[in-house]
Amino acid sequence: ENSGPKYKPVTENRIIENSAKGAEWLTTGMDYHETHYSPLNQINKSNIKELGLAWSYDLKSSRGIESTPVVANGIMYVTSNWGVVHAIDAKSGESIWKYDPEVDKGKWGVKACCDAVNRGVALSGDKVYVAAFDGRLIALNASTGKVVWEKDTFDGEQGFYTITGAPRIAGSHVVIGNGGAEYSGRGYITSYNVDTGKKEWRWYTVPGNPKEPFENEAMKKAAKTWDPAGEWWKNGGGGTVWDSMVYDPELDTLYIGTGNGNPWAAALRSPAGGDNLYLASIVAIDPNSGEYKWHYQETPGDNWDYTSVQPIIMADIKIDGNLRKVLLHAPKNGFFYVIDRETGKFISAKNYMDVTWAKGYDESGRPIEFAAARDTKNEYLQIPGPLGAHNWQPMSYSKDTGLVYIPAQQISVTYKDQMDWRFEDPKPGVRGSIIGRNEAKTMGSSSAVSEFGELVAWDPVSKKSRWRVRYDAPWNGGVLSTGGDLVFQGTADGKFIAYDAETGDKLWKFDLNGGAGAGAATYEIDGEQYISIPVGWGGAYGLPRKVAEQRGSGTVYTFKLGGKAVSPGSLQEGTGKLVEGVDYDPSKIEYGEKLYTSSCATCHGAPGATKGGALPNLAYVDKNIVENLGIFVFKGPFYSLGMPDFTDKLSQDDVSAIKAYIQGTADAIRESGGKKIKDETVH
């Protein structure tokens, strides 16, 4: 129990007032603007060399950690997998309380497109809000961690949903969306009263069956941009709001980023074409009524899993001599957008990474596409691939430098439409289809062009990068910028690095116990500035592969000047030896590969393609696991950790074929002297 001073309620004024000094970090993005910038400057260029570990905290988790810490009243709130909340003394690193929503992981793990992650909490009054993976929005007492109220946000809905995002507070409303657009789902957000949990409104992002009454004018308008021949509503249509929402208290408006189409292939979802509103858009909503205000669609007629859910930043910047209230956005599709947040008017879009789907944008804010990117017959080299030029990892906007620091990447894929796709049609050979994926795309090579990561310092006014830092690998962590003229980023290869915000010069680095994804936060207690980063490798890219040699239990690292705490260690990983000696029938390998692609590949990757990520690569596990694969796939020992149950999905014969494929591939790699046989499976 918290024995410290009485918990001071978190109010709108307090969040606004804190922006100027930055002693606390009161929303997932620091304040309402969600800049991931703090004016704190005790730690700066002159003393960064003295930055050392103040404390570390074991989150006791083994999947991806994606939450930016939130700090109020000396308490840090950070989430780990499935929606577990840790309240930590932000000065000492001692646990205050822990809340586990006790998600039925066996039941829900199968619905995880991209790891059982959670991106953090929201604070309001004396409560902390978290959304559990299984759809429950939960209000906890911020001092004790006791449940105040709990609501099922999937109530009455049909889709294959999960929640990974952080809730947001808009006045007296707490709002949450969900994920599921790789499976089946109609995107929506729901608002609840912060005090009572009473459901207030629900806003769908895409229209339902046009034969039924529309919920509102926005849906009626949107339906005209979809072809009913695609019967998208059976599949849900997509548009899930699985990450960013920002609230502007001055304009009393909530801005949400919407996700990709479901299925991905536009030609199957809406054969006659159309923009498919409000997919891949930023939509402004009145948080009191739940009514649509305006939208700007970044990727009309999405065909590539180009979600627009990526972190949105509010900024007030001078463009052509006029101070404009804008939204800054770097979604998956590789373009950087500046949008007027009062009107929704498009200001500019310019690619911050190489892209092969569009040449640029016209004055009205429509992309000028390359026709080949919509070819339904031929394979196409898609850059960025479905993991995006930037994913959920928070970017940061510094008011001092005027730059946006984007954790960007290049990961390509070759795509082709799966023209024989049908809704919920498990097919050996179709990626993830046995576990409910509904993408309608087949993928070829994921490494036709090189993969890399980049920290891009982007000037949103001149639409050019000021500097770039190149990393060998993609999937680097979120970014923090500070008044100390510093930029902090954790990397996929397990470092926490400080850069000069003006030049990109590397000033300091610290070795972590694994690859980092989450963004860092900073705060001040008793006159000392702290910088805190939760570390834990995983997420969509990290499930089947890793970049750092080491991998640790999820850990919060907190630094201060002169800190001298001892670093936590890494986990003992497997042997790294190819599996050997499992009996198999070689004639089954080919069919086994097909079943593997449909059942195992999205989480475990292709056998031997990597030595594993947050989850093991099956060519590098103990022989007993492959030999007894049936024990593991039919509600086995890992079911309670989130592994799907393949009962009624695979037969014993199917399992024998999968075993043949795993052992056969491992043998082939060994015989070829360790040569990689297969590409990794992207996303």
Ligand X SMILES: O=C(O)c1cc(C(=O)O)c2c(n1)C(=O)C(=O)c1cc(C(=O)O)[nH]c1-2
Per CB under 6 A, contacts with ligand X among 45-104 are 66
Least distance from ligand X to the Cβ atom of residue 298, Å: 15
Q: From the list ligand X, Ca ion, none, pick the one residue 365 interacts with, judged by a Cβ distance below 5 to 8 Å according to partner type.
A: none
Contact 516, 496 (CB under 8 A): yes
| 433 belongs to the binding site for ligand X (CB under 6 A) | no
- For residues 296-334, one letter each, b for 16 or more C-beta atoms within 10 angstroms of the residue's C-beta and e for the rest, the string is bbbbbbbbbbbbbbbbbbbbebeeeeeebebbbbbbbbb
Least distance from ligand X to the Cβ atom of residue 15, Å: 26
Least distance from Ca ion to the Cβ atom of residue 259, Å: 5
Least distance from ligand X to the Cβ atom of residue 178, Å: 7
Closest of 55, 227, 9, 34 to residue 120, by C-alpha: 34
| 540 belongs to the binding site for ligand X (CB under 6 A) | yes
Nearer to Ca ion, 39 or 261 (CB): 261
What is the C-alpha separation between 248 and 572, in angstroms, rounded? 46
The upper half-sphere exposure of residue 472, i.e. CA atoms within 13 Å in the direction of its Cβ, equals 6
Give the pairing of strands 479-482 and 37-38.
Answer: parallel
Q: Is 557 helix (H, G, I), strand (E, B) or coil?
A: strand
Least distance from Ca ion to the Cβ atom of residue 165, Å: 12
Q: Single out the catalytic residue among 31, 275, 305, 667.
A: 305
Q: Is 547 helix (H, G, I), strand (E, B) or coil?
A: coil
Q: Provide the sign of the torsion angle of the four alpha carbons 646, 647, 649, 650, taken in this order.
A: positive
Q: Tally DSSP H helices, then E strands, for the chain.
A: 11, 40
Range in contact with Ca ion (rule: CB under 5 A) among 180-188, 311-319, 375-383, 559-567? 180-188
| 179 belongs to the binding site for ligand X (CB under 6 A) | yes
Q: From the list Ca ion, ligand X, none, pick the one residue 398 interacts with, judged by a Cβ distance below 5 to 8 Å according to partner type.
A: none
Please, what is the end-to-end C-alpha distance for the chain in angstroms? 41
What is the C-alpha separation between 617 and 606, in angstroms, rounded? 7
Nearer to ligand X, 305 or 417 (CB): 305
| 24 belongs to the binding site for ligand X (CB under 6 A) | no
Q: From the list ligand X, Ca ion, none, pick the one residue 240 interacts with, judged by a Cβ distance below 5 to 8 Å according to partner type.
A: ligand X
Structure tokens at 66: 């994606």
Range in contact with Ca ion (rule: CB under 5 A) among 179-187, 284-292, 367-375, 576-584? 179-187
Structure tokens at 132: 């559990």
Binding string, residues 490-529; x marks residues near ligand X by CB under 6 A: ----------------------------------------
- Tokens 């939208």 found at: 295
Least distance from Ca ion to the Cβ atom of residue 148, Å: 32
Least distance from Ca ion to the Cβ atom of residue 119, Å: 15
Closest of 202, 267, 214, 213 to residue 241, by C-alpha: 202
Per CB under 5 A, contacts with Ca ion among 247-306 are 260, 305
Closest of 473, 296, 310 to residue 395, by C-alpha: 310
Q: Is 561 helix (H, G, I), strand (E, B) or coil?
A: strand
What is the C-alpha separation between 284 and 286, in angstroms, rounded? 7
Backbone angles phi, psi at 286, to 5 degrees: -80, 115
What is the C-alpha separation between 663 and 669, in angstroms, rounded? 10
Q: From the list Ca ion, ligand X, none, pick the one residue 391 interacts with, judged by a Cβ distance below 5 to 8 Å according to partner type.
A: ligand X
Query: Binder to ligand X among 305, 593, 654, 667 (CB under 6 A)?
Result: 305
- Tokens 């950087």 found at: 336
Least distance from ligand X to the Cβ atom of residue 543, Å: 8
Q: How many residues bind ligand X (CB under 6 A)?
A: 21
Per CB under 6 A, contacts with ligand X among 240-269 are 240, 242, 259-260
Active site residue 400: no
Q: From the list ligand X, Ca ion, none, pick the one residue 89 interacts with, judged by a Cβ distance below 5 to 8 Å according to partner type.
A: none
Per CB under 6 A, contacts with ligand X among 382-401 are 387, 391-392
Nearer to Ca ion, 134 or 305 (CB): 305
Closest of 517, 459, 433, 60 to residue 243, by C-alpha: 517
| 160 belongs to the binding site for ligand X (CB under 6 A) | no
Query: Binder to ligand X among 539, 592, 607, 612 (CB under 6 A)?
Result: 539
Per CB under 6 A, contacts with ligand X among 548-587 are none
Question: Which residues of this chain interact with Ca ion, rule CB under 5 A?
Answer: 181, 260, 305
Catalytic positions are: 305
Question: Which residues of this chain interact with ligand X, rule CB under 6 A?
Answer: 66, 113-115, 117, 164, 179-182, 240, 242, 259-260, 305, 307, 387, 391-392, 539-540
